[in-house]
Amino acid sequence: MGVASAYQDQRVVVTGAGGGIGAALARGFAARGATVVVNDLDSDRAAAVAASIGDCATALPGDASAVAAEAREALGGEVDVYCANAGIAAGGDAFADEGVWEAAWDTNVMAHVRAARLLLPHWLERGSGRFVSTVSAAGLLTMIGAAPYSVTKHGALAFAEWLSLTYRHRGVRVHAICPQGVRTDMLAAAGSAGELVLAPTAIEPDAVADALFDGMEKGRFLILPHPEVAQHAAGRAADPDRWLRGMNRLQRTWEQR
């Protein structure tokens, strides 16, 4: 079955879809025949993206950490694909405020958990469902200057892995998208650390969406729009101390900027 027909008439939710990767995912699914709920905390941005897609898209403003039930209702009580894309790029170090850590944890991890709790019973009963988690390469590696972001993205990846290994034999497909820099508002907000680490190889959101659709067609769990991330992750696993020394050099370079 080709990609175009695979998503025909599928019911899809994309959180954080008011721009960037989320908007690209929503447009990509719609172009392949799906009906899409476009969720974003910013109601105007959600409405604009839904309007640009057309009649097969519905804008649903609201907090991604608690939107799954309403999104399901907007799709007539059924969800075939849930894209947990919304995220908080929380910078800071170990001394970041408790509220920063809590907000990052709530959106970057618990929003995924809550959506899965709601969707899994029906998916398991019918034997099919697809959960897409936008993680970032920070979940496989890390990101300097962003402890809350890095830690919670590791959590998002761990949860996606757990879902996949637990339910794949029961028809639930899980995909974790792990790009490096993507030309979005989030990259712009990453400041000098983003300029140093992410900007030089940044790609467009549409390239991330293309990588997801290619990966879904091939049944891949890990979606790497930047293929070099696989090499970095392999090096980290093979020799953690060497990798940490290299990252520490990057940290010192950033501190000296």
pLDDT digits 0-9 by tens, 45-71:
999 999 999 999 999 999 998 999 999
Which domains are present in the chain?
11-256 (3.40.50.720)
DSSP E strands in 104-163: the ranges are 129-134
pLDDT tens digit sequence for 177-235: 999 888 777 766 667 776 777 778 788 999 999 999 999 999 999 999 999 999 999 99
pLDDT at 92 > cutoff 80? yes
Q: The dihedral of CA 14, 185, 205, 212: what is its sign?
A: negative
Confirm if 64 and 111 have CB atoms less than 8 A apart: yes
Query: What is this structure's pTM?
Result: 0.93
**Does residue 149 carry a catalytic annotation?**
yes
Which residue bears the tokens 């009580």?
77
State the catalytic residue, choosing from 7, 82, 149, 167.
149
User: How is residue 3 written in tokens?
Assistant: 């990609």
- Spatial CA neighbour of 186 closest among 109, 85, 98, 254: 85
Type of residue numbered 65: S
- Facing residues of 174 across strands? 131
Confirm if 152 and 189 have CB atoms less than 8 A apart: no
Type of residue numbered 162: W
